[in-house]
Amino acid sequence: MIITSSLFEAYLECDTKCWLRAHAEPGKGNEYAEWARLKSEAYREDGRKRWLATFPENGRAVAPLISVHAKDLTWRVATDVRLQANGLESRLQAVEKMPSEGRAKPAQFIPYRFQFTNKLAKNDKLSLAFDALVLSEAMGCEAGFGKVIHGDRRATLKVKLSSLVSMVQKEIKDLTALLAGNSPPELVLNRHCAECEFQDRCYKKAKETDDLSLLSGMSDKERVKYRNRGLFSVTQLSYAYRPRRRSKRASNKSVKYDHSLKALAIRENKIHVAGTPLLALPDRYAFVDVEGTPDEQTYYLIGLLVKKPDSPELVRYSLWADDDSEERKIWSDFLHILKRESISTLIHFGSYETTFLRRMKARHSESVADADFIAKLISGAINLLSIIYGQIYFPCYSNGLKDIAKFLGHRWSENLTSGLSTIIWRSEWKNIFDESLKHELCKYNYEDCQALHIVADMIVRLCKPPSETPQSGHAEIVRTDTLKRPHPYRWERDEFVLEDFRFI
């Protein structure tokens, strides 16, 4: 089988994705994957036109026929160059031919790629190195470096390819072995799934087999370790949990995440609490959720739900920026609201909001008073995920806000599986300024803040002593220190997962 650049790019992201593309398996669609594909094609086409326009017309070529002799090439620059050599095939987006420095020296070629993202990933550079490898083998000369034109400003990054080509050759060897087999690779869900056209298909397969990769926090090494112990499914892993006495000297900061306890919580559909999680809320605090464009590291929407001691109702604030130039304004309004409401404690989920605070402090804080106030906000911020981690095990496959809040009964008005849809909505807003898109984004942000409120309320309940903790209306609450520890030297009737084992 010929290894194409498309298959190579898919392999860098996921073995299964590469296998499915190689066997022409149709994807069932993914909104973000389709959006990224169309945006990439549009950026590439526009980039090639702009790039070609910078060279004399008599030295340009589009989809030229390539001769193996560089001297026979009449063009200086070319786009859409198709090359094939030694079982490899690539459709180079653009190539520049540099004149030889002497009669004895061959001409040099520079491969180009156009990438719409502002931040380049390692896979973008490896894809460029793949193009360079095919180019060098087809033309009989080395491409020492390539260039990537990327982002809104069309910045040009020069990439040295010598070390990357050797990495590409190793990946090609593994890819060739993968496609030479008669069976698909082991299915492993990963972070790329959210932006893959085969997401629904793979998740359905993983659910059917109760695969360990459903547990999103499990690393490849941990999964291999469990498989070597004969544990191949989440249900099997749940039976491996053994409650242990917790040392009185152990602090909550040294908690260790237990995948088998997570699996047990899922199997029994019960919330399991390990250790003594702590969450004490002051009289005044605010739930905060920020929406931004990660690729550009800019922010356009700040959502707040403010809790006051004299009112049971939460006060909602939604700060919107039409474009990047208004980021400073919404940041200033954000600080003004917190100071006016005497809020010094922000409750959030994950590290995104604390990163936001630090970046805004560096970008827009002009006075010493503001800098001190922001430093106080950062130090006093409460990350709900850090309290959950290793201490509270909800019966869902991940510790994501959406999974936990959905388990607790919260529902979003849009059927969203991830926040990637907001990237699409924001991109469309910049193009057409549709008020309905702004409304959807603000509503989504508000519902995230509501989810924070629901999760925080549950954590507060779980942090109370067992005698004061009412059972949840969604699942039974189990304290791991009350679970019976199996005695290793006692003759007992064994509990078997499969009835056939009992017969044996």
Note whether 149 and 112 are within 8 A (CB): yes
Strand runs labelled E in 151-207: 155-160
Estimate to the nearest angstrom the gap between the alpha carbon of 62 and the chain centroid: 36
Residues of the chain with CATH 3.30.420.10: 285-463
Residues of the chain with CATH 3.90.320.10: 3-180
Q: 257: number of CA atoms within 13 Å, CB side?
A: 18
How many whole angstroms separate alpha carbon 73 and alpha carbon 60? 11
pLDDT digit of tens for each residue in the chain (504 aa)? 799 999 999 999 999 999 999 999 988 878 999 999 999 999 999 999 999 999 999 889 998 877 655 566 788 899 999 999 999 999 999 999 887 766 666 678 899 999 999 999 999 999 999 999 999 988 887 788 999 999 999 999 999 998 899 999 999 999 999 999 888 999 999 999 999 999 999 999 999 999 999 999 899 999 999 999 999 999 999 999 988 766 655 555 567 899 999 999 999 999 999 988 999 899 999 999 999 999 889 999 999 999 998 888 999 999 999 998 999 999 999 999 999 999 999 999 999 999 999 999 999 877 888 899 999 999 999 999 999 999 999 999 999 999 999 999 999 887 666 788 999 999 999 888 989 999 999 999 999 999 999 999 999 999 988 776 666 666 799 999 888 776 656 666 777 777 888 787
Beta-strand relationship, 270-273 and 476-479: parallel
489: CB partners within 8 A, 6+ apart: none
Alpha carbon distances (Å) from 310 to 242, 315, 334, 405: 46, 12, 22, 27
In DSSP terms, which residues pair with 62 in a beta bridge?
79
Q: What is the pTM of this model?
A: 0.88
- With b meaning 16 or more CB within 10 Å and e meaning fewer, what string describes 8-22? bbbbbbbbbbbbbbb
Alpha carbon distances (Å) from 136 to 96, 97, 108, 275, 468: 13, 12, 9, 60, 71
How many whole angstroms separate alpha carbon 154 and alpha carbon 49? 13
Q: Find the radius of gyration of the CA atoms of the chain.
A: 28
CATH of domain 285-463: 3.30.420.10
Q: Which fold has domain 3-180?
A: Lambda Exonuclease; Chain A (3.90.320)
What pLDDT score was predicted for residue 368?
A: 83
Query: What is the torsional sign of CA 287, 293, 296, 302?
Result: negative
What pLDDT score was predicted for residue 414?
A: 74
Q: Token digits for 280?
A: 């004490």
In DSSP terms, which residues pair with 154 in a beta bridge?
none
How many whole angstroms separate alpha carbon 187 and alpha carbon 117? 28
